[in-house]
Each structure stands twice: as structure tokens, then as C-alpha cells.
Amino acid sequence: MKNTLPLYMMKSFLKSSLLIGGGLCGLLLIFDLLANMNDVIAPNDSVMKPLFYYMALRLSDIIVLVLPLAALMAALVTIIQKVSSHEIVIMRAAGIPSYHITAMLMGGAVVLCVLQFLMMNYVQSYTAKQLQDWQNRDYRLSALSGDDDKEINWVASGDHLVYIGSSSVDGQLLNDLKIVERDDNGQLVSYLEAVQAVYRDGQWTLFDVYQPAMGDAQDTQIQELSLDLGIEPSLFSRLADRSVEWSVGDLVNVLHKDELQDKPAYVYSLWLQRKFAAPIGVLVMVLLAMPLAIQIARQSSFTMHISYTIIAGFAFFILERLFETMGEAGTIPSVVAAWTPAMLFAMLSSWLLLMREG
């Protein structure tokens, strides 16, 4: 029974977050689509297919942007609903302190925090790269389907011709390889296909290798094959200029390999820490809303306090961007740039909560 009230409050908060977040995502997605519609449609024969593809790639960016704001507004809506139905007053009269009410909503905020972390590192990092590649191809769907000859990625190295279907950000993982070996006269010596290749100890290790029959030989399947192609991973690296295009794994890998870095190490360090600090913003937004719970339980008018809370939420966003810019410029240490806004607003909100409780 003791878990009934926390679960009830968390369910109310998550329901409001879903409704508000969904509405904001839909609204921002429509505005973004209207702003870029001509560029997306013009290079293609069809209309709906590129539009839906664009929306699918942009959706994760918008979700990550909206989640903290949705958490703030959902916390406000939940509190207002409970005050209107006198539930907050009853909780306070029953001796439930404000920080217990805060903890009830923070359970739902943790769910949103985890969701944002997963979205940033497993969805947004992929879709952002796909969208950037598509933009570089002038939004042509034909380039994505492989019908555009300019997108065929053949590399010559010594006696080898190598085709690469795709690569990781640092270029050390290649997918869908086709390798042609020729003699000095240009005659075909061997042909290999591999599902994947990894760069290890100065050479490439191929996995799931298939060698079709040539002459009297039979088809050959090889689980793992080491091959010196004379090709460096930097040839395939696609180091992104935006932090959203990096996953945690990519950033950790680049930080440990100086030769892959095309920016100062502190920039990659900042981007890595922001992957963990940014989702904390959801928790901060809920903390910002909680001092309002006590205030509106004591006063009949709370419009001013709602306005102050929303302004504080936008101030948090602005401070995050300001510190991130300063960190990327090397003006302040990366750990300060990544964590100061969240820590500062969390301490301020906690102090206000305790003062209102007192």
C-alpha cells in the first residue's frame, strides 16, 4: 500500500509528459518540415517518400530537444492538477513533506532521463549522420539507393581494388567489402567478399569471408582472415563536426587515439561528458517545478510562480549552450562546461525547496 501514492504520482507525471512531449514534437516537426520542404522535395521525383524520410531522421533530434521542456511542463501540470483536486493539500495535511512529493515525481523523471540518454546515444547519433549524409547529397533519394555512380566507394591500393559499403566514424570498422587483387599486367588474381573488417595491429582482419570459385578451385568460406591492404583507417574516417553525430563509444575510441582527432582533445572530452550531463537536465527541470508545489498550496494565485518557473527553465537551456560554447573554445575546462549548469540549477532548486518547506 505504501507504494500506491508514489506510483500514482509517477503515472500522472509520465502521462502528462507523454501528452505534452508528443504535442511539442509534432508541432516542432511540422514547423521544421515546412522550413525545409522545398529543399527536400525539389531533387526527387516523388513527394511523400522524401518528406516521410526527412521526418523520420529529424524526429530523434526533436525528441531529445523537447524532453527536458516536456518534463518541466508535465511537472507543472501534475502539480496544478493535484492542487485543483486538493490532493496536494491533503498530502501536506497528512504530514508528507515536499521532498517526498518531489521524490515521487523524480521517479518518472528518471525514466525520461534514461530515455533521453538512450535516444542520444543509440538513435540520434545514427539518424543525425544519416541526415547529414543525405543533405550532402542534396536530399536525393537515388543516392541512398545506390543508383548514383558517384556514391560507389572504390579505393585502389597497390595490387588491390577495395569496395567499402560503409564505415564507422573513426574508419576502423568497415562493412560490406569486395576486394579484387590483380597482377602486374592487370589480370585478375583473386576476388574476396567480406561482411566486415576491423583494423588491428597495422592490418585488416576480415570476417565471414567468401571467395568464389576461380579455375579448378571451389567456393571457399573463411571465418576470419588477416590481410595487409596497405590502407589506413583515416582514409575512411568521417569525423563529424557536430556532437549529436557521435555516440559514447565513438567518442571514447577517438579520445584514446590521438591520430584520429581533428579537433583538440578537450572538445571530444566535453562532447563525451555532455552525453551524460544532458539527460540530467530532465531531473533539473522537475526540481525547478517543485518549489511551486508548496507555494501554490499556500496561495490562491500562482500565475506569477508558474511564469518564474518557465523562465528559469529557459535560463537553464541558455546557460547550457553558453557553457558548451565556452568549453568548445577551450575557455573553461570541459568538466566545468559540461556539469556546471545542471549542478548550479539543481542546488538552487533544492535550496528553494528546503526554504519553502521551512
Domain with 222, as residue range(s), is 159-229
In a domain, 113, yes or no: yes
119-133, 134-148, 248-262, 292-306: which has the minimum mean pLDDT? 292-306
In a domain, 239, yes or no: no
**Looking at the structure, do residues 96 and 205 belong to the same domain, yes or no?**
no
Q: Are 293 and 302 in contact (CB under 8 A)?
A: no
42-46, 65-69, 118-122, 252-256: which has the minimum mean pLDDT? 252-256
DSSP 50-76: HHHHHHHHHHHHHHHHHHHHHHHHHHH
**Looking at the structure, do residues 188 and 316 belong to the same domain, yes or no?**
no
**Looking at the structure, do residues 166 and 208 belong to the same domain, yes or no?**
yes
Q: Which of 218, 170, 221, 226 is nearest to 197 (CA)?
A: 226
Of 142 and 205, the one with more pLDDT: 205
Q: Which of 204, 229, 254 is the last residue of a domain?
A: 229
In a domain, 295, yes or no: yes
Q: Which of 170, 204, 229 is the last residue of a domain?
A: 229
In a domain, 250, yes or no: no
Residue position matching grid coordinates 577517438: 254
**Looking at the structure, do residues 281 and 218 belong to the same domain, yes or no?**
no
**Looking at the structure, do residues 123 and 12 belong to the same domain, yes or no?**
yes
**Looking at the structure, do residues 8 and 98 belong to the same domain, yes or no?**
yes
Whole-prediction pTM value? 0.73
Q: How many domains is the chain built from?
A: 2
**Looking at the structure, do residues 33 and 129 belong to the same domain, yes or no?**
yes
What pLDDT is recorded for position 358?
A: 58
Q: What is the CATH number of the domain that holds 209?
A: 2.60.450.10
In a domain, 254, yes or no: no
In a domain, 184, yes or no: yes
**Looking at the structure, do residues 9 and 107 belong to the same domain, yes or no?**
yes
Of 65 and 91, the one with more pLDDT: 65
What pLDDT is recorded for position 150?
A: 38
Q: Are 102 and 75 in contact (CB under 8 A)?
A: no
Among 201-215, 230-244, 269-283, name the most confident range.
269-283
**Looking at the structure, do residues 59 and 176 belong to the same domain, yes or no?**
no
pLDDT digits (tens, 9 = 90+) for 17-53: 999 999 999 999 999 999 999 999 988 888 899 999 9
**Looking at the structure, do residues 222 and 312 belong to the same domain, yes or no?**
no
**Looking at the structure, do residues 15 and 72 belong to the same domain, yes or no?**
yes
In a domain, 252, yes or no: no
In a domain, 240, yes or no: no
Q: Which of 229, 166, 158, 148 is nearest to 192 (CA)?
A: 229
Looking at residues 172-200, what average pLDDT do you find? 84
**Looking at the structure, do residues 130 and 168 belong to the same domain, yes or no?**
no
